[in-house]
Amino acid sequence: MSLTAIARSLGLSVTTVSRALGGFSDVAAATRMRVEAEAERIGYHPHAAARRLRSGRSEAVGVVLPSGPGQFDDPFFLRLLGGIGAGLATHGFDLIVTAARPGAAEMAAYRHLAEGRRVDGFIVARTRQHDARIGWLLDRGMPFVAHGRTMEPRSYAHLDIDGEAAFAAATRRLIGFGHRRIGLINAPGELMFSHHRAAGWHAALAEAGLPPGPSAEGEATEETGMHLATRLLRAAEPPTALLCATDRLAVGALHAIGFAGLRAGQDISVIGYDNLPLSTYTDPPLTTIEQPIDRAAERLVQILMALLGGASPAGFADLWPARLVPRASDGPAPARSNRPRTGWTLQRPNRPSRGGHDVTGSNKT
């Protein structure tokens, strides 16, 4: 089947049929509907490459993951990318995902996709306080939406979850349980979400007249969470509660608590962030903060499609609330005599595989 067959059947020119199927605005709506109905009837589908050539678009959106190739196994972003890909497909767009280490390699990946016209726009993942990617895209007028905010003073489209308010609320919850020494295990400080979550922790402690508890930061992995929690628990005045910037860090903290012979939720409280599926199956189940991943993916696609349609980025600055999901890993502060002791020896577990792991006896995942 061809454009010629449709044109002959409807008594139209091939050019009119082509422009109707290409979505050009100079074709009357009634004519476009007739052409689309006839194309559907005879089973005609426009050649994708030819359509892209006519429109000057790639019909693809790029995401550059800030990690080395083959090293990005964050379950939060895997779920977010799945939702983004499904949403783009409903608009006839493809999702192109690549990975590059932050810095020169990352910017080279953006240039490769943008200057080679391989994508029409970007979704920027895991924003930083001072983010060169945002400035580069703004300077070039490239359509994009960021998942998160930055310190960039210029207006740009973004969707963020209010991590500052969420961590303030979580800290108040622990204070309400009687905790007075609340520690923080954070992701690297240059990440904007780390900055916001730490700010919420600080604000709630100050509001209650409490000094900041002990804190540590590192890559948001289970292994990092285990080692940072171990360090904090070995302090002369260990915390009675830990806020963790991600569920993966919290899972590592639960490992450290278990290896120290302590009980999460009784000897020490732990709260995570993300509400990943694994948080239901830790021992004990993890109290955490949920952000609407699937709805965020849908909204990011909506915003980018609007930008590609000519909308101003100034109209898109979404900030959504998060929701605390209470489970069994937090609770009343222990009596002083039951607080974690110093001087214990950590039993090192086997190094976890990159895809997740089980620990015999504790059933943490």
Question: Rounded CA gap, 307 and 155, in Å?
Answer: 13
Nearest Cα neighbor of 241 from 265, 268, 267 is 268
pTM of the model: 0.79
- pLDDT per residue as tens digits for the range 249-268: 999 999 999 999 999 999 99
In contact, 215 and 248? CB cutoff 8 Å: no
Question: Rounded CA gap, 355 and 261, in Å?
Answer: 26
- pLDDT per residue as tens digits for the range 185-235: 999 999 999 999 999 999 999 999 999 999 999 999 999 999 999 999 999
Dig out the tokens for 291 from the structure: 């952000």
Higher pLDDT, residue 36 or 162: 162
Where do the CATH 1.10.260.40 domains begin and end in the chain?
Answer: 3-55
The predicted pLDDT at position 2 comes to 72
Give the containing element (helix H, strand E) for 155.
none
Question: Rounded CA gap, 113 and 63, in Å?
Answer: 10
How far apart, in Å, are the Cα atoms of 13 and each of 5, 6, 115, 172?
A: 10, 9, 36, 69
Question: What CATH number does the domain located at 60-161+293-320 have?
Answer: 3.40.50.2300
The predicted pLDDT at position 355 comes to 34
Mean pLDDT value across residues 79-95: 94
The torsion of the CA quartet 110, 87, 84, 315, rounded to 10 degrees, works out to 70
Residue with tokens 């993951």: 65
In contact, 303 and 316? CB cutoff 8 Å: yes
Residue with tokens 């972003």: 77
Where do the CATH 3.40.50.2300 domains begin and end in the chain?
Answer: 60-161+293-320, 163-291+324-338
Task: Say which CATH topology domain 3-55 has.
Answer: 434 Repressor (Amino-terminal Domain) (1.10.260)
Residue with tokens 């074709």: 27
Dig out the tokens for 33 from the structure: 């509907």
- Does 163-291+324-338 carry CATH code 3.40.50.2300? yes
Mean pLDDT value across residues 55-81: 82
Give the containing element (helix H, strand E) for 324.
strand 323-325
Mean pLDDT value across residues 140-152: 97
Give the containing element (helix H, strand E) for 126.
none
Q: Quick check: 47 pLDDT over 90?
A: no
Q: Quick check: 359 pLDDT over 50?
A: no
